[in-house]
Amino acid sequence: MTKVSKVVGITGICAAGLLALTGCGASTAGAAQGQAFTPKGDVTMVVPFGAGGGSDLSGRAIAAGLEDIAGVNINTENREGGSGAVGYASFLAQDGKPDHLLATETAMLALPLTQDVPFTYESFTPIMKLGDDYTLLTVSPDSPHRTCEDVVKAAGSGRVVAAVSGATSLDQIVFTLIEQEEGIKFDRVPYESGNEVVAALLGGQVDVISVNPGEVLGQLEAGTLKPLCALADKRYELEALKDIPTASEQGIDVSFAQFRGFIAPGNITAEQKQYWIDAAKKFEQTDGYKKYIADNVLQPNAVYGDDFKTYLAGNAEDLAKVLGK
Amino acid sequence: MLDNLMLGFSTALTFENLLWCFVGVLVGTVIGLMPGLGSTTGIAILIPLTLGMEPVTALIMLAGIYYGAQYGGTITSVLISTPGEAASVVTTLDGYQMARQGRAGSALAIAAIGSFIAAIISLALLMALAPPFAQFALNFGPVENLSIMILGLITVVSFAGGSMSKGLMMVTAGLLISTVGIASGFSQARFTFGNVNLLGGIPFVEVMIGLFAVGEVLHQIRVGAAAPIRARFKDMVISRKELTNSMPSIFRGSFIGFLLGCLPGAGSTLASFLSYGVERRFSRNKHNFGKGAIEGVASPESANNAAANANFVPTLALGIPGGGTTAVLLGAFTIYGLQPGPLLFEQQPTLVWGLLVSFFIGNVMLLVLNLPLAPVFAQMLRIPYAYLYPIIILTSLVGAYSVSNNMFSVWLVVIFGLVGFFMKELDLPIAPLVLGVVLGPLLEKSLVQTSALGQGNFMIMFQSQISVSILSLALLLAVGPWLIGRFKSTPSDAKELTHV
């Protein structure tokens, strides 16, 4: 008995060790230089945030879509830390390697503006912007406010408490833009995620929030929260959201989106860049892309390569006005 | 209600769902065993593999991983003083002492039994009362959370066993460590010295692995306890007396765990620490705590499992995740084309009740799996330390790397391993430091929020009835034993006091 169980014990531990080892299997780099480029060997999709978050979902959706198109394995690797800074900083080390990609979003622009980090968006090669995630200004159903204008007026004459999900988050930026546009002040309470912000509004701790529609669809349907306006250029096409007016319809000229997309390392060749852009364009036609956009309630404004870079430049300029050191 | 239960059973008892439930709890146990690899990461990685399944089947499996990991995390805590999950940290205090005394089998068995009973209690509450509980939990804003954190910290200080000042010192050290990185609600970086790896702060998983696993191995090498534990098989089976003694602790732990688990964010780690603190003060056997008291394993293990189940209260009833793992599960809902939110119970009764009933079935499976395996796992300690230690060190370092695929985490584990070694040399308690690191960011967040809500005036804490009740409880815990000691004229006789 003793002998048998000892063997069981040892194999148990060995199996545990082995599993842990394979769990973090590193990717193998197979950089092919020059001529018409096709990736050889495995490709790595870096996600600069933890597993299960918004970046992780987009990274894995892109990886799955590109895998079929490129005919190679694309391994998703979460390199979290420093609110995304660690992932982007380590991506600098992949300079010139076309077999590495990174699932990007607004942190790429916000981090260099607020922290001492060794990169800007110009350190990398932008490939594709998948779409835009706007926010809805939302209140509780028993709130006296009926429009975004009501909220602005209230904030002009008294205290309106707004929950924000982070120091450089989309809602923080949107509230600042409204303040700058209308010359008013919100009283902010900082939270750390969209879910916490929704809970704070449901619990009556705050008066107003500005959230991604994907985070409140269920609440809107149940009538437990009331949307006032979308801080977007145009209304959503989705049935459940199409009756929500934009802020500019209500006289507040504010619209700001968080983008999602993917980039390649800096200094890759023109052929390599073109290869990923072509693959990304094919990805836009797949059901995987459409499902991702629908599941996360994005506006599908795909942009590629240099156009994406131009977009980033403009976006960085807008952000600097809000977050500038 | 009965109709719903029948619907749940008819969904959960299909062959396919039973099979995947089993796979889930098994994989969960293995994931819980690995230091560093938590259920959150495990589930996130496995979601893509479930895309071809029916949504209810996929969620049954993923949820199985979640509560299975709670069982698995216990095994390494008890055997080698290496918590697999933060919620198992406190289990090491008495569980590991039991193992050193050759009672690892009993510790593992009571953990499995406690977790099972907690699961049944919390499931019954979840099924009957999820929506009202969820509504009540919404009343817990920053002010109330701040009070809970204060209660948690006061409880923890007493963990130091003999010395309260040592406990206080270590909690403070933990809180200081937690201030590294970008401050909550601001964009200023603190104590990062220009290192991007430190922007996000010092993660507690690395601290935990270093202090507990590596620190303990270094300490054992220093004291040179080379003889493996020679326990007879008979001693590995839990006795009836141990079981009856643990029952009150299991019930108390279950209720504390369920209540804290309902609150979005508070989580199972705090539940395990709080319930341990409560036992330490109120259990009949309190003078044995820290020296291998079985109640010290029974209560936190019941609490963390109850909290894991209760996390589903806000998740299913409101569409707001109760913790990190349920947040990932909610993400999965969307991928399967389900809309989480207040209408889920009405719109998806098959899914909700099937899932809830599968928790029950999964916990039965875990009990059947873990009870006979407890003595077998305990036999692991017969492996000579010359083989066991290198395996622990290797698993710790690999586990640390797998947290974020970054060598920085490995160095953190090495550094905190050395810190842990010296703490043991100086007889400083480790658990308060870890809880300081875990609670620090939560405490700071609610402090900043409370300050913002009260516009700088903390009197706002006394305007909420919930907050006042919690603070009174904290005060009672802090000065209660001292007061009792004053009224009893023989404060030295601790055994007498337990009957008050």
- What's the CATH number where A62 sits? 3.40.190.150
Q: What is the mean pLDDT of residues B457-473?
A: 91
pLDDT at A180: 92
Residue A30 predicted with pLDDT over 50 = no
pLDDT at B132: 87
Q: Is the minimum CB–CB distance between A85 and chain B shorter than 8 Å? A: yes
Return the axis-axis angle of helices A54-70 and A270-284, rounded to nearest 10°: 100
Enclosing domain of residue A215: 136-250
Q: Which residue has tokens 């991604």? A: A212
For CA atoms A148, A150, A154, A159, give the dihedral sign: negative
pLDDT at A92: 92
pLDDT at B400: 85
Do residues B253 and B306 touch, judged by C-beta distance below 8 A? yes
H helix and E strand count, chain A: 11, 11
Cα dihedral B66→B72→B74→B75 (10° resolution): 180
Residue B381 predicted with pLDDT over 50 = yes
Q: What is the mean pLDDT of residues A60-84?
A: 88
Q: Which amino acid is located at B107 in the chain?
A: A
Residue A214 predicted with pLDDT over 70 = yes
pLDDT at A86: 86
Task: Compute the count of residue pairs across chains A and B with CB atoms less than 8 Å apart.
Answer: 203
Strands A187-190 and A161-164, bridge-based pairing = parallel
Is A154 found in the same domain as A176? Answer: yes
Portion of chain B with pLDDT greater than 70, in percent: 93
Point out the domain boundary residue: A230, A250, A270.
A250
Is A143 found in the same domain as A234? Answer: yes
pLDDT band, residue B87 (cuts 50/70/90) = confident
Closest CA relative to residue B438, chosen from B265, B282, B277: B265
pLDDT at B160: 56
- More confident: B37 or B8: B8
Q: Is A117 within the bounds of a domain?
A: yes
- More confident: B414 or B197: B414
Strands A100-105 and A258-265, bridge-based pairing = antiparallel
Q: What is the mean pLDDT of residues B434-463?
A: 89
For CA atoms A300, A303, A309, A310, give the dihedral sign: negative
pLDDT at A6: 39
Q: Is the minimum CB–CB distance between B265 and chain A shorter than 8 Å? A: yes
Is A199 found in the same domain as A105? Answer: no
Point out the domain boundary residue: A224, A250, A276.
A250
Among B405, B407, B410, B446, the residue to mutate for chain A (most A Cβ within 10 A): B405
Portion of chain A with pLDDT greater than 90, in percent: 63
Q: Note whether B343 contacts A200, CB cutoff 8 Å.
A: no
pLDDT at B210: 92
Q: What is the mean pLDDT of residues A189-202?
A: 89
Chain B segment 358-377 residues within 8 A of A by beta carbon are: 375-377
Do residues B64 and B70 touch, judged by C-beta distance below 8 A? no
Q: Note whether B197 contacts A221, CB cutoff 8 Å.
A: no
Length of chain B: 500
Q: Residue A311 and residue B195: Cα distance in Å, rounded?
A: 29
In A, minimum Cα distance to B326 occurs at: A52
Chain B segment 147-176 residues within 8 A of A by beta carbon are: none
Residue B136 predicted with pLDDT over 50 = yes
Is A129 found in the same domain as A147? Answer: no
A212: Cβ–Cβ under 8 A, 6 or more apart, which residues? A133, A134, A135, A136, A170, A194, A258, A296, A297
Domain count of chain A?
A: 2
Lowest-confidence segment of B100-104, B111-115, B121-125, B256-260 by average pLDDT: B100-104
Q: Residue B411 and residue B414: Cα distance in Å, rounded?
A: 5
A67: Cβ–Cβ under 8 A, 6 or more apart, which residues? A73, A74
pLDDT at B372: 85
What mean pLDDT value characterizes chain B? 85
In A, minimum Cα distance to B143 occurs at: A205
pLDDT band, residue B355 (cuts 50/70/90) = very high
Chain A segment 254-313 residues within 8 A of B by beta carbon are: 295-296
What mean pLDDT value characterizes chain A? 86
Closest CA relative to residue B427, chosen from B156, B154, B161: B161
Burial readout B306-343 (b: 16 or more C-beta within 10 A, e: otherwise): bbbbbbbbbbbbbbbbbbbbbbbbbbbbbbbebbbbbb
Residue A247 predicted with pLDDT over 90 = yes
Q: What is the mean pLDDT of residues B298-314?
A: 92
- More confident: A80 or B213: B213
Q: Note whether A195 contacts B181, CB cutoff 8 Å.
A: no
Strands A303-304 and A124-133, bridge-based pairing = antiparallel
Point out the domain boundary residue: A217, A250, A283.
A250
Q: Is the minimum CB–CB distance between B455 and chain A shorter than 8 Å? A: yes
Among A1, A46, A79, A83, the residue to mutate for chain B (most B Cβ within 10 A): A83
Return the axis-axis angle of helices B142-157 and B164-177, rounded to nearest 10°: 140
Task: Give the strand order in the sheet containing A43-47.
Answer: A74-78, A43-47, A100-105, A258-265, A124-133, A303-304
pLDDT band, residue B412 (cuts 50/70/90) = very high
Q: Residue B367 and residue B498: Cα distance in Å, rounded?
A: 32
CB-count burial class (<10 Å; 0-12, 13-18, 19+) for B280:
buried
Q: What is the mean pLDDT of residues A39-48?
A: 91
Q: Which residue has tokens 């060997």? A: A41
Strands of B180-228, DSSP E = 181-182, 189-190
For CA atoms A250, A254, A260, A261, give the dihedral sign: positive
Residue B4 predicted with pLDDT over 90 = no
Q: Is A13 within the bounds of a domain?
A: no
List the end-to-end C-alpha distance of chain A, in Å, as a whole number. 69
Q: Is the minimum CB–CB distance between A195 and chain B shorter than 8 Å? A: yes
Lowest-confidence segment of A24-38, A47-61, A275-289, B44-58 by average pLDDT: A24-38
**Which sequence spans correspond to the domains of chain B?**
2-226+240-499
B319: Cβ–Cβ under 8 A, 6 or more apart, which residues? A218, A219, B330, B340, B341, B342, B344
Smallest CA–CA distance, residue B183 to chain A, in Å, is 9
Do residues A267 and A194 touch, judged by C-beta distance below 8 A? no
Portion of chain A with pLDDT greater than 70, in percent: 88
Q: Note whether A192 contacts B376, CB cutoff 8 Å.
A: no
Q: Is A241 within the bounds of a domain?
A: yes
Q: Is A8 within the bounds of a domain?
A: no
pLDDT band, residue B332 (cuts 50/70/90) = confident
Is A165 found in the same domain as A109? Answer: no
Residue A29 predicted with pLDDT over 70 = no
Residues of A in contact with B41 (CB under 8 A): 50-52, 78
Q: Note whether B199 contacts A9, CB cutoff 8 Å.
A: no
pLDDT at A27: 37
pLDDT at B284: 80
- More confident: B213 or B232: B213
Q: Is the minimum CB–CB distance between B407 and chain A shorter than 8 Å? A: no
The helix/strand/coil state of A78 is strand
Residue A34 predicted with pLDDT over 60 = no
pLDDT at A67: 92
Q: Is A305 within the bounds of a domain?
A: yes
Q: Is A185 within the bounds of a domain?
A: yes
Do residues B477 and B151 touch, judged by C-beta distance below 8 A? yes
Is A262 found in the same domain as A128? Answer: yes
Q: Is A34 within the bounds of a domain?
A: no
Q: Is A203 within the bounds of a domain?
A: yes
pLDDT band, residue B334 (cuts 50/70/90) = confident
pLDDT at B411: 95
Q: Note whether A221 contacts B339, CB cutoff 8 Å.
A: yes
pLDDT at A186: 95
Smallest CA–CA distance, residue B500 to chain A, in Å, is 39
Residues of A in contact with B314 (CB under 8 A): 199
Is A113 found in the same domain as A51? Answer: yes
Is A278 found in the same domain as A263? Answer: yes
Residues of B in contact with A193 (CB under 8 A): 327
Lowest-confidence segment of A108-122, B56-70, B371-385 by average pLDDT: B371-385
Q: Residue B443 and residue B433: Cα distance in Å, rounded?
A: 14
pLDDT band, residue B331 (cuts 50/70/90) = confident
Is A176 found in the same domain as A223? Answer: yes
pLDDT at B425: 92
Return the axis-axis angle of helices B324-335 and B55-80, rounded to nearest 10°: 160
Lowest-confidence segment of A153-157, B21-25, B188-192 by average pLDDT: B188-192
Residues of B in contact with A57 (CB under 8 A): 331, 335
Chain A segment 99-138 residues within 8 A of B by beta carbon are: 114-118
pLDDT at B112: 92
Q: What is the CATH number of the domain that holds A175?
A: 3.40.190.10
Is A111 found in the same domain as A165? Answer: no
pLDDT in tens, A119-168: 999 999 999 999 999 999 999 999 999 999 999 999 999 999 999 988 78
Q: Note whether A20 contacts B399, CB cutoff 8 Å.
A: yes
Burial readout A142-178 (b: 16 or more C-beta within 10 A, e: otherwise): ebebebbbebbebbeeeebbbbbbbbbbbbbbbbbbb
Is A240 found in the same domain as A103? Answer: no
- More confident: B491 or B301: B301
CB-count burial class (<10 Å; 0-12, 13-18, 19+) for A311:
middle
Portion of chain B with pLDDT greater than 90, in percent: 31
Is A276 found in the same domain as A184? Answer: no
